[in-house]
């Protein structure tokens, strides 16, 4: 009882066609098809509406990297006053939420204290720091304690 190759191929094609037709019409992939939720989302860029007004900054935020000395730490307002080498003082807040401030330590300071990161409460007045901040917002990006 020999079955010819043509019959086997015909059966295979019919089986594949039956499975594909059971799944539905052949078209774009499911991820590419627009659905009702993407049409109603206000901040979804795929629907052509784009972002709402005011959610994007007007220009690129420029960061400035400088050195200085900590003059004051305000724990209630979560701000740091840093004296620059130029003579001016900067009062900067953190862009991160309370308790998650990016306060790192230099390698030399980390060897002497054994800590790679500090809490705002552990920062001492008079410490030499290197900091990077957003000039437009007045917020610190990273504060690195050196001594």
E-strand ranges in 24-88 read 63-74, 79-84
Percent of the chain with pLDDT over 70: 60
CA-wise closest residue to 131 among 57, 60, 59, 71: 71
What Cα–Cα distance (Å) separates residue 114 from each residue in 105, 109, 118? 10, 8, 11
pTM of structure: 0.56
Instruction: Look up tokens 């230099």; give the residue.
Output: 106
Q: For residue 81, tell me if it sits in a domain.
A: yes
Both 111 and 80 in one domain: the answer is yes
Both 43 and 68 in one domain: the answer is no
Q: For residue 10, tell me if it sits in a domain.
A: yes
Both 33 and 89 in one domain: the answer is no
How does pLDDT run across 89-139, given as a tens digit for each residue? 888 888 777 778 888 999 999 999 899 998 888 889 999 999 898 888 888
Percent of the chain with pLDDT over 90: 18
Instruction: Look up tokens 């990273």; give the residue.
Output: 142
Q: How many domains does the chain have?
A: 2
Q: For residue 98, tell me if it sits in a domain.
A: yes
How does pLDDT run across 39-89, given as a tens digit for each residue? 444 554 554 444 444 455 667 778 889 999 999 999 888 889 999 877 788
Q: What is the CATH number of the domain that holds 94?
A: 2.40.50.320
Q: Is residue 68 within a helix (H) or strand (E), and if so which, with residue range?
A: strand 63-74
CA-wise closest residue to 133 among 68, 76, 50: 68
- Per the structure, the complete domain to which residue 18 belongs is given by 5-47
């Amino acid at each position: 009882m020999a079955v010819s190759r043509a019959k086997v191929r015909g059966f295979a094609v019919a089986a594949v066609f039956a499975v594909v037709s059971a799944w539905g019409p052949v078209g774009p992939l499911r991820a590419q098809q627009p659905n009702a939720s993407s049409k109603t989302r206000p901040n979804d860029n795929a629907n052509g509406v784009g972002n709402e007004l005011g959610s994007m900054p007007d220009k690129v935020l420029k960061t400035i990297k400088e050195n200085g000395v900590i003059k004051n730490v305000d724990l209630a307002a979560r701000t740091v006053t840093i004296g620059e080498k130029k003579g001016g003082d900067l009062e900067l807040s953190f862009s991160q939420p309370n308790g998650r401030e990016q306060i790192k330590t230099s390698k030399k300071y980390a060897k002497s204290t054994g800590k790679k990161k500090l809490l705002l409460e552990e920062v001492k007045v008079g410490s030499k720091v290197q900091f990077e901040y957003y000039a437009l917002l007045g917020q610190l990006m990273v504060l690195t304690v050196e001594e």
